[in-house]
């Protein structure tokens, strides 16, 4: 595996990671609470309803598998190296790319264009600042080593011609398992929206806002 060794500059990434996780949980709670009184303005969307559901499920599955695959390369050594193998060889933030697919999937499963737009916009705005801070941290820590990676590999859109995959990698099971469990949370909105639709349909939960 080709990696760039760590420098002796101080690491601040763990603090950023904890703040990002806290913000994500707060946003998720607020979204759930708001959706308790919100419903789709259409009773049925026919074939488009089914297409949105299955496309959303597919994107969430890709997100979970993709994030798990990325963690096999970076789990436990994120602060120690600049990884340039596998998905990290074609895009600098593959974990976030897969997370974005999962967010789009959740929006599609909700069957509400307003929720989809809100999730996508929130992700783009929030992670624009997250990535900028992480890049500043990595540039400060690894210097020219990261600058070279920064200039050669795209931030968001994969450049497939750069793909490089080693014959074998060393995987840390604990970090792979943790990432898989975290990624599985992307599936939770699927039963949540199903139960929510049922509760609204049975008028158990009141609906105060109708969204397209």
Q: Is residue 159 part of a domain?
A: yes
- Going by pLDDT thresholds of 50, 70 and 90, the confidence category of residue 178 is confident
pLDDT at 160: 92
Q: Is residue 109 part of a domain?
A: yes
3-state secondary structure of 91: coil
pLDDT at 211: 54
- Whole-angstrom distance, CA of residue 100 vs CA of residue 201: 30
- Phi, psi torsion values for 45, nearest 5 degrees: -115, 10
Helix H or strand E segment including 4: strand 3-4
Checking if the pLDDT of 81 tops 50, the result is yes
Q: Is residue 12 part of a domain?
A: no
pLDDT at 14: 54
pLDDT at 155: 92
Into how many domains does the chain fold? 1
CATH number of domain containing 58 = 1.20.120
Q: Is residue 186 part of a domain?
A: yes
- Whole-angstrom distance, CA of residue 43 vs CA of residue 45: 7
* pLDDT tens digits, 2-45: 444 433 343 445 555 555 555 555 555 555 545 554 555 455 55
Q: Is residue 18 part of a domain?
A: no
Checking if the pLDDT of 203 tops 80, the result is no
Enclosing domain of residue 192 = 45-211
- Whole-angstrom distance, CA of residue 100 vs CA of residue 127: 10
Gyration radius (Cα) of the chain, Å: 19
pLDDT (mean) for 130-155? 89
Q: Is residue 142 part of a domain?
A: yes
Q: Is residue 21 part of a domain?
A: no
Q: What is the mean pLDDT of the chain?
A: 76
Residue 12 DSSP class: -
* pLDDT tens digits, 96-107: 999 999 999 998
* pLDDT tens digits, 51-69: 888 899 999 999 999 998 8
pLDDT at 205: 59
Q: pTM to 2 decimals?
A: 0.76
Q: Is residue 200 part of a domain?
A: yes
């Amino acid at each position: 595996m080709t990696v760039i060794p760590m420098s002796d500059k101080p690491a601040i990434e763990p603090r950023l990671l904890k703040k990002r996780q806290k913000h994500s949980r707060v946003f998720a709670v607020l979204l759930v609470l708001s959706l308790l009184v919100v419903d789709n303005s259409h009773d049925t969307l026919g074939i488009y309803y089914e297409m949105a559901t299955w496309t959303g499920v597919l994107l969430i599955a890709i997100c979970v598998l993709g994030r798990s695959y990325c963690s096999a390369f970076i789990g436990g050594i994120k602060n120690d190296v600049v990884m340039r193998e596998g998905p990290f060889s074609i895009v600098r933030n593959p974990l976030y790319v897969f997370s974005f697919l999962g967010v789009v999937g959740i929006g599609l499963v909700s069957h509400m264009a307003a929720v989809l737009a809100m999730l996508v916009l929130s992700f783009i705005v929030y992670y624009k600042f997250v990535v900028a801070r992480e890049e500043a941290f990595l540039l400060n820590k690894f210097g020219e080593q990261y600058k070279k990676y920064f200039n050669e590999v795209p931030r968001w859109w994969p450049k497939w011609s750069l793909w490089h995959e080693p014959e074998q990698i060393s995987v840390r099971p604990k970090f792979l398992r943790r990432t898989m469990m975290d990624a599985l949370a992307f599936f939770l909105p699927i039963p949540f929206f199903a139960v929510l639709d049922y509760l609204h349909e049975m008028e158990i939960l009141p609906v105060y806002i109708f969204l397209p």
